[in-house]
Structure 1
Amino acid sequence: MLYQDAFLARLEAGVRGALPAWGVGADAAVRLLTISENATYLVDDGGRRLVVRVHRPDYHTAAEIASELAWISSLRETGTIETPRPIPGLDGTLLRHFDDGGARRHVVAFEFMAGKEPDASDDLPRWYRELGAISARLHRHARGFAPPDGFVRKAWTFDTIVGDGAYWGDWRAGLGLRDDGRALLQRTADRLAAETAAYGAGPDRFGLVHCDMRPANLLVEGDRLGVIDFDDCGFSWFVYDFAAAVSFQEHEPYIPELIDAWTSGYRSVAPLSAEDEAAIPMFVMLRRLQLTAWIASHAETPTAEAMGPAYTDGTLALAERYLSARP
């Protein structure tokens, strides 16, 4: 239960104290936008708006955050993707810090990007077709990207997604999960371990990805689809980007339509093999298991509170269907 009121009050005070480093008055309007891994604030200084992200304690190192910003800068410079510019401080540095009772909090500021997230009331296949094209451009850039010295990002493998080294906690702690459910999910995890190993992680299938292009990190304005929040970018399977893009909606009946739209958009830019497309349901199930753990380990976040034990129940239903389709 990290993000309780007292902690959030300290973070807002830290953000206000850091604002002069970007040439913003400490009396600017500061509003909490989201809590997920990080706490993100909208700052309005008389018409100039920026988004300030305070990083979750003990999640990313300073080197990892600097590497994220380096990739964002390269993506912007090459025109690969529309994403907000990281804003340097008056001293030219992108990554800043403030003291929180002796603990160092990492802080980054970005340009404000207007728009709304696409939802089920929109033409979702249209936007997932565009997202497929964006993903293909991003992956093409990643394959040719020459990381700067010291570049380091997390690797999202089976072990770090749902295995013993999982970054987001143990799926066995899923909210409301009982012994029979754990047994079912263990069979599912065992199957996924074998299937991901058979699929492999060669350079044609595994590389630098965004890893969180879900609707909450997409901004629609007119015909533009912007992508924000590269906080989870790292090394994983390229088609895992689709699984991440349907986070928290994996159970919806329209997912096959979104797969068709995403793969169509992807192929409008770059090749996608039939084997890669066939692997998408495997990665969707893997992501669902990962998010079942995330909800339990991030129970204080609004997303986790909205999902609750019902999400675990949905995971069990998906796991039953997944295994029955693969006898």
Structure 2
Amino acid sequence: MRHAKAADALMQEMHGLSETAEVTLAGLAGGRPIGSNDGHKPTGVTGMLSDEATSNKPMLNRLDVLANEALTRWELPAGAHARLINLSENATYLVGAPCGFRSILRVHREGYHSRNAIACELEWLRALKSDGGVLTPDVIAGRDGELIQTCAVSGLAGERHTVMFAFIEGSEPDPDHDLARSFEELGEIAARTHLHSQTWPKPEGFERLVWDVDAVFGSTPTWGNWRDGPNVDGSLRPVLEKAEEVIRHRLHAFGKDPDRYGLIHADMRLANLLIDNGVTRLIDFDDCGFSWFLYDFAATISFIEDHPQVPRLKEAWVRGYRKVRALSAEEEAELDTFIMLRRMALLAWIGSHAEVPYARELSPHFAQGTAKLAQTYLSRFS
């Protein structure tokens, strides 16, 4: 990570902030936009699936075919066409028609979420909007009334689940403005989602990812083993091993009581907020799952955990959170443990996504930066 950048430039790069609503809506896929180039971000398709390299134009062409064939599953205006705007864990398309109609089509990565898991995500999305006080995107049902349409096309392995969202006008928080104000709002939104999570009666068979110690450090970690991260060598491993040991110990002691652990968004970055005329909507629930509520803060500073602004942003997030939901001094003191847990998960992610341009961009110094964070963390907690 390049520490010499100004904070606003860092936030713009790390969270994929853009000036257009079309590219902003790529946040539904949790990735970075296609074709954006502000002097920091690589140009071109970014954020690829592990089995679909960026150079695989035939695969992209087949995805385009699938997306446009899938449009027949919905009642859409004449001439509707899907255009790829983001490729990350999922492929996200802007759907447009000559009459001015717009929507967002999400084509899910094969094998990442089951159909039931996607349905559970959409059910929580609906419930948050209806009774949780959090504005979320509307989901457009297909001709058959189903929210999820499963499609296949020759030349593309397996079936793909697709979901269509209503187009949302708006833009992400401006990185040139005071980021503390945006983080305070993030804290308020996080607290509302956590209050809802605690009381919402989940449907039978509710299924989502789990983001706990085993998901990061277990035998089958979701994003891979941090030891396989780039440049994790013998000089860095001891401090990272010790950090893992302390994280495991502290989170075991912290516990998973229902006032601390439950269903969370798990990717509540600035890039996943859309603001229009003072109204803020939360998007991209693709990673939502079960974890500690405080993990949501760690996700807000993904990839910039070592930036000097982080303490101030943490204070702002906590201040906003406490406007809505209680947060004890003990819980606040443990935020650094969740930051370290997330950082080591991201180190694993970079190692398991070597074909992603952004991962390659971060890979030279990310392990070293993680080790420095671990040293600071251990100076407080070991």
TM-score, length basis structure 2: 0.81
Single out whichever of 274-283 and 309-318 deviates more from structure 2.
309-318
Aligned to 1:2: 51
Aligned to 1:20: 72
Single out whichever of 272-281 and 147-156 deviates more from structure 2.
147-156
Aligned to 2:301: 246
Aligned to 2:89: 37
Q: How does 1:214-253 map to 2 (within 5 A)?
A: 214-253=269-308
Q: In the alignment, is the contact (CA less than 8 A) between 2:74 and 2:141 conserved in 1?
A: yes
How far does the alpha carbon of each residue in 1:46-66 deviate from its partner, in whole angstroms, 9 at most, with x for none?
A: 321111111112111111111
How far does the alpha carbon of each residue in 1:216-247 deviate from its partner, in whole angstroms, 9 at most, with x for none?
A: 22223343332111111111101111111111
SS at match of 2:93: strand
Q: In the alignment, is the contact (CA less than 8 A) between 2:132 and 2:196 conserved in 1?
A: no
Aligned to 1:287: 342
> Once the 2 structures are TM-superposed, how far is the Cα of residue 205 of structure 1 from its aligned partner?
0.5
SS at match of 2:150: strand
Single out whichever of 45-54 and 11-20 deviates more from structure 2.
45-54
Q: Percent identity between the aligned chains? A: 45
2: CA distance between counterparts of 1:196 and 1:173? 23
Aligned to 2:144: 91
Summarize the Cα distance change of 1:201–1:233 in structure 2 as closer, same or farther, 3 Å threshold. same
1: CA distance between counterparts of 2:96 and 2:360? 28
**Matched residue count:** 327
> Once the 2 structures are TM-superposed, how far is the Cα of residue 163 of structure 1 from its aligned partner?
2.5
1: CA distance between counterparts of 2:357 and 2:85? 11
Aligned to 2:353: 298
Summarize the Cα distance change of 1:28–1:162 in structure 2 as closer, same or farther, 3 Å threshold. farther
Q: How does 1:1-327 map to 2 (within 5 A)?
A: 1-4=50-53, 5-24=57-76, 27-46=79-98, 47-78=100-131, 80-100=133-153, 101=156, 103-118=158-173, 120-327=175-382
Summarize the Cα distance change of 1:116–1:249 in structure 2 as closer, same or farther, 3 Å threshold. farther
Structure 1 unaligned residues grouped into runs of 5+: none
> Once the 2 structures are TM-superposed, how far is the Cα of residue 324 of structure 1 from its aligned partner?
2.2
How far does the alpha carbon of each residue in 1:103-161 deviate from its partner, in whole angstroms, 9 at most, with x for none?
A: 11111111122333336423211011111111111111111101112211122110012
2: CA distance between counterparts of 1:316 and 1:118? 31
Aligned AA (2:126): S
- Structure 1 stretches of at least 4 aligned residues deviating more than 4 Å after TM superposition: none
1: CA distance between counterparts of 2:179 and 2:378? 28
Q: In the alignment, is the contact (CA less than 8 A) between 1:247 and 1:288 conserved in 2?
A: yes
2: CA distance between counterparts of 1:200 and 1:189? 16
2: CA distance between counterparts of 1:250 and 1:54? 31
> Once the 2 structures are TM-superposed, how far is the Cα of residue 29 of structure 1 from its aligned partner?
3.9
Structure 2 unaligned residues grouped into runs of 5+: 1-49
Q: In the alignment, is the contact (CA less than 8 A) between 2:216 and 2:225 conserved in 1?
A: no
SS at match of 1:52: strand
Single out whichever of 317-326 and 306-315 deviates more from structure 2.
306-315
2: CA distance between counterparts of 1:161 and 1:133? 27
TM-score, length basis structure 1: 0.94
> Once the 2 structures are TM-superposed, how far is the Cα of residue 25 of structure 1 from its aligned partner?
6.1
SS at match of 2:365: helix
Summarize the Cα distance change of 1:299–1:216 in structure 2 as closer, same or farther, 3 Å threshold. farther
